[in-house]
Structure 1
Amino acid sequence: MDYKTNLQKWLDFGQYDQNIKKELSAITDEKELEDRFYTELSFGTAGMRGKIGMGTNRINIYVVARATQGLAQYLLKEDPANAEKGVAIAYDSRHFSKEFAQVSAQVLAANGINAYLYDSLRPVPVLSFTVRHLKTAAGIVITASHNTKIYNGYKVYGPDGGQITEAVAAGVVEQIHTVTDYFSVKLAADNDPHIITVPKEVDDAYIEAVKGVAKANPGSDLKIIYTPLHGSGNIPVRRVLKELGYENVTVVKEQEQPDGDFPTVAKPNPEEKAVFDLAIEMAEKEGADIIFGTDPDADRLGVCCHKPDGSYAVLTGNQTGGLLVDYMLKSRDWPDNKAIVKTIVTSEFGAVIAKSYGAAVYNVLTGFKYIGEKMTQWKASGEHTFVMGYEESYGALAGDYARDKDAVVASALVVEMAQYYKERGMTLYDALQALYKKFGYFLETIQSIELDGIEGKAQIAKIMDAFRADHFDHFADAELVEFDDYQSQVCTNVKTGETSGIDLPVSNVLKFIFNEDSWYAIRPSGTEPKIKIYYSVKGKSPEDAEAKLAEIKEAVNACLPQ
């Protein structure tokens, strides 16, 4: 079916929904109309994410309702008892998040499925915890994480509290495709008895679970600046810190209240240094010890700390992760089977540190659900004791109460760590430099190439094909030793030509590993119209690492097809 046919169906329905008619009739750019209707918004293990607007390739109440109908049919087909177990639903501060959550609840209720809906915004990790705590059959959270204000998304969780697996996603997609008419999905009334407000005791239980992972520091003199970046972290983060004994917490007022426009930042992403401009300005006036911020759905944490010259360094996810790995392993008693989990595009910095403590290190595909899967496996088998899991994109989790990254517990642990080092006359920056001196100077960066629309998809495929077919074998004094293709699941020893299998799910990722702990990886984003190139090098000094990083980036970009 061509895009014009899809467009006409929506225009025809516009007589019943004036929002459709008004929005689509105002568009004069044919390319824009084609992009909205040439395909359907894809649904995968990360659910859906797209630009807000009318169309099959946008996120709106009709796309959300259809997806939820597919989920409802899947759950009832798998086990009729899932109707009673129900589905937990949460949402963040983005535009239409509350409306999409309400529509999801109404669709579930119309199918006779209990919908446990929060009465106001909550972080993603709270939803993960709620699914486990209430023992629901699934969970839904409405969020587009750290994307700009024009985006929203729809994520689905399994009964373990982790994002759904590939097999479950395929089953849900099969059911979604049986719903051929976007406008025929039935909605229950707002006051349907199947729509149940999540009780306050679930929030209290979550806070207690987080406090059970972190150590209390009553009477702490640590000076803290926190920004929730207009999102859902403000209430739970401040409550946890206060109940752990941190009284000197100042919130960036301009970024405190939920606001889907994110008016003070270009993108509400703690990976972007600019989001901390207001917080750093405040910290310099007040002499704060530490600054941190959470993204709109409060699953990612960015951290700033004092440098020796008095300025503030904005740490990367790899740096914060490495510091936490070291701190968690030395500040708690762990059994011999202790282990951490990280993603394949996360630096080896934390892995090298973990191994020095005798901890096992497991690599998984990008996506925190894979870390959650390891946690669930080990919980059942007893093979390992989970210390923490983390990824370079600023997500971390410690504790067994959830199966997704949690900036609330990460905030508590980072503050605890800052207190530990302050008592020893050190900052987090000092601690980081000590680790670099001991284990080598690791340096990482990410290059994101945005390629939107139909042409963008084709260019992304062209780039991946080019690097599969041909790639450089050395840069500076480093030599390529291994080439991993996670789509064909083949690991190739470059020197011998020998191959072996990769025991991970199929994923369109390429990783090129050089000696001396340097590598780069290429993967299309699963949630955004872009391709990402991850770089990681290790040097003998900061200057050596900088030079190596510049050389590997230059070599990769010289191979990019035009």
Structure 2
Amino acid sequence: MASIDFLVEEWLRLDRNPKTRSEIESLRGNVEELEKRLRNRISFGTAGLRSSMQAGFSRMNDLTVIQATQGLCMYLLETIPKSRDRGIVIGYDHRHNSENFAKLSAAVFLSKDFKVYFYRGVVHTPLVPYGVKKLKAACGIMITASHNPKDDNGYKVYWENACQIIPPHDKGISEEINKNLEPWIWDPELVDNSELCVDKTKEVSDAYLEEIGALARHRQDNAASNIKIVYTPMHGVGYPVAKKAFEVFSLNPFILTSQQIQDPDFPTVKFPNPEEGESALALAMQTADEFEARTIFANDPDADRFSVAEKQKDGQWIIFSGNQIGVMLASTVLDNYKTSGKSVENLAMLSTAVSSKMLSCMAKSEGFYFEETLTGFKWLGNAAMELKKKGYDALFAYEEAIGFMIGDVVTDKDGIGALAAFGELLVQLEKRNMRINDYLEELYRKYGYFVTENSYFICHSQPTINKIFNKIRYGENPEKPSDPDYPYEYRLSYPTSLAGHKITYIRDLTIGYDTSKPDKKPILPVSKSSHMITFGLENGCIGTLRTSGTEPKIKYYFELSGTQYEDVNKELKRIVKGAADELLEPEKHGLIYRE
């Protein structure tokens, strides 16, 4: 009862909404219902916590951070032997409240006699999983909102294998959170007063850069090159470590934009995400014009993502997609592996279900092993670790959302490793008198033109989202099955055609349905907590609709391949429009298209 009384008072203190006060006060006499509602406010997904920083139990604030950490702490004690001695790595970025959240998290572990490797000063996100690997820690926490808007923050968890957590750990942590809601300690100063708090920041950072430097294959060429590269860290934490990564690759320093200044308010960009295109890279393009540079490199604020843009001969800028950057980096990794003399059959590369199929095509052509996972590096990283156990050299993975894993430095996306590797690729292209776009065209001619169109609609109503997806799978008027053994809630009634093309393949990872399998059960994990449906058309087009775990979006990913770019591009645009009109009905449901 003490914990419930505490939560009531804390909720009322933090959340001043009159409706909330009335709701809680009315439930004071119904302890069972009150406890149920309060505990349902705390959720912990496979990526950890991420939300705007506000009062309330579904928001990111001191209390929810402490509660999440207490649950994580207890779960570690139950599942990982000697977790206290192995310790936990904690890092934070420059966001508002990041340092405070990190210190509060550290205090929870210190209060339970855990060794805590607490990074002193802001770090980029990949340094936390690298630290878990290097220090053989039991777990890692990174306080960051990545590329989210300025009012957000987040809490990302890495397991003992230095990968983001996946089931069943997320569920286990959530259960422990709900058992440990009342704070044990609320002391951000404990990190400066406890002998159990260890500073390994320089040691780990130096080791990370040494491993990044070991990825270089053409140091002499790099040192001799005078390529101009404009770099923007989007007001994030990337600049210091990006500069050092260029140095360990013997690459020349790049030209900086005014966005090198760390600023949690991101004054020059509405959304600090390189994926937002010219609106995010406008200042970098202006700087490039001023210094007569034709290449732009960008990291997102926590530097785990990487983007590239190139000015063409006609003065127009091309911002390469995550898929395009991915296949170019993959080709580089493949070339380096061949040069090493190892058998290509030992090489493994991975991408996600919504990424381009071009990497899969490349694997079939070149003979390396390819594996597809669910969306997100929590799946890619863990799958890469499993492949390593099987004897593969899993040296590259990517997702279309500009996330790339290069080598085995970090088994997660790393915008710094990708930046250094692409800088070296740029030098090699210069030796061949080629632009980046020329190289991409060369790969297209070799493996086929894989044209993608990815974007999203904004929808703030979860019932509307559910209605849209349920209509796709069950039809306009869902029918209850008469057979009690029927495996789905309603009779399936998927569309049979899309934009005039026959649908030949359907995979629904929300309800666990896959027409390509004899038993109609997909190999990839099923999750009822989000929607994800993939269609294959008779002309080879693959399209996926899915919801976002952290944003109010319905995302779509469509790809078509062929031998002539113009023909493929034209047909793909027609299919995408048809899919939106037929499946999502944006006007009917009030969906807002991405600006």
TM-score normalised per structure 1: 0.90
**Counterpart residue number, 1:365:** 374
Q: Secondary structure at the match of 1:538?
A: strand
The structural deviation recorded for 1:418 is: 1.1
**Counterpart residue number, 2:402:** 394
| Separation of aligned partners in 1, 2:38 and 2:280 | 34
**Counterpart residue number, 2:263:** 259
The answer to whether 1:270 aligns with 2:263 is no
The answer to whether 1:65 aligns with 2:83 is no
Alignment of structure 1 residues 355-504 onto 2, 5 Å:
355-382=364-391, 384-452=392-460, 456-469=461-474, 470-475=493-498, 478-493=501-516, 499-504=519-524
Q: Secondary structure at the match of 1:271?
A: helix
1:459-479 CA-partner distances (Å, limit 9, x unpaired): 222222122224444456743
The answer to whether 1:244 aligns with 2:249 is yes
The structural deviation recorded for 1:43 is: 0.7
Q: Secondary structure at the match of 1:318?
A: helix
| Separation of aligned partners in 2, 1:515 and 1:393 | 27
C-alpha contact (below 8 Å) 2:94/2:236 kept by paired residues: yes
Q: Which segment drifts farther, 101-110 or 353-362?
A: 353-362
1:517-551 CA-partner distances (Å, limit 9, x unpaired): 41111222122232222222224433323322322
The structural deviation recorded for 1:196 is: 2.0
User: Could you tell me which amino acid in structure 2 is paired with residue 151 of structure 1?
Assistant: D
TM-score normalised per structure 2: 0.85
1:136-161 CA-partner distances (Å, limit 9, x unpaired): 00000011111111111101110111
| Separation of aligned partners in 2, 1:361 and 1:468 | 30
The structural deviation recorded for 1:176 is: 0.3
C-alpha contact (below 8 Å) 1:220/1:245 kept by paired residues: no
**Counterpart residue number, 2:550:** 527
Q: Which of 329, 350, 358 pairs up with 1:349?
A: 358
Alignment of structure 1 residues 317-328 onto 2, 5 Å:
317-328=322-333
Mark the runs of 5 or more structure 2 residues left unpaired by the alignment: 25-36, 475-492, 590-595
C-alpha contact (below 8 Å) 2:107/2:185 kept by paired residues: no
Q: Percent identity?
A: 34
The answer to whether 1:10 aligns with 2:10 is yes
C-alpha contact (below 8 Å) 1:44/1:166 kept by paired residues: no
| Separation of aligned partners in 1, 2:270 and 2:7 | 31
Change (3 A) 1:195 1:7: closer
| Separation of aligned partners in 2, 1:475 and 1:442 | 20
| Separation of aligned partners in 1, 2:317 and 2:360 | 26
| Separation of aligned partners in 2, 1:244 and 1:385 | 22
1:199-244 CA-partner distances (Å, limit 9, x unpaired): 4111000001111123322222111111011112111111010221
Cα RMSD of the aligned pairs, angstroms, is: 2.6
| Separation of aligned partners in 1, 2:235 and 2:459 | 28
Alignment of structure 1 residues 202-351 onto 2, 5 Å:
202-215=204-217, 216=219, 217-252=222-257, 254-273=258-277, 274-333=279-338, 334-335=342-343, 336-351=345-360
**Counterpart residue number, 1:560:** 584
**Counterpart residue number, 1:76:** 77
**Counterpart residue number, 1:169:** 170
Change (3 A) 1:6 1:311: farther
The structural deviation recorded for 1:387 is: 3.1
Q: Which of 505, 530, 548 pairs up with 2:525?
A: 505
User: Could you tell me which amino acid in structure 1 is paired with residue 370 of structure 2?
Assistant: V
| Separation of aligned partners in 2, 1:40 and 1:131 | 30
| Separation of aligned partners in 1, 2:538 and 2:369 | 21
The structural deviation recorded for 1:489 is: 3.0
Change (3 A) 1:511 1:290: same
User: Could you tell me which amino acid in structure 2 is paired with residue 331 of structure 1?
Assistant: N
Change (3 A) 1:369 1:482: same
| Separation of aligned partners in 2, 1:141 and 1:208 | 22
| Separation of aligned partners in 2, 1:266 and 1:66 | 31
Change (3 A) 1:222 1:515: farther
The structural deviation recorded for 1:499 is: 4.5
Mark the runs of 5 or more structure 1 residues left unpaired by the alignment: 15-19
| Separation of aligned partners in 1, 2:440 and 2:267 | 33
Change (3 A) 1:499 1:307: farther
Q: Secondary structure at the match of 1:557?
A: helix
**Counterpart residue number, 1:17:** none
1:265-310 CA-partner distances (Å, limit 9, x unpaired): 1111111112111111111222224211001111111100232323
The structural deviation recorded for 1:331 is: 3.5
Change (3 A) 1:461 1:38: farther
The answer to whether 1:201 aligns with 2:203 is yes
User: Could you tell me which amino acid in structure 1 is paired with residue 99 of structure 2?
Assistant: K
| Separation of aligned partners in 2, 1:287 and 1:433 | 24
The structural deviation recorded for 1:39 is: 5.1
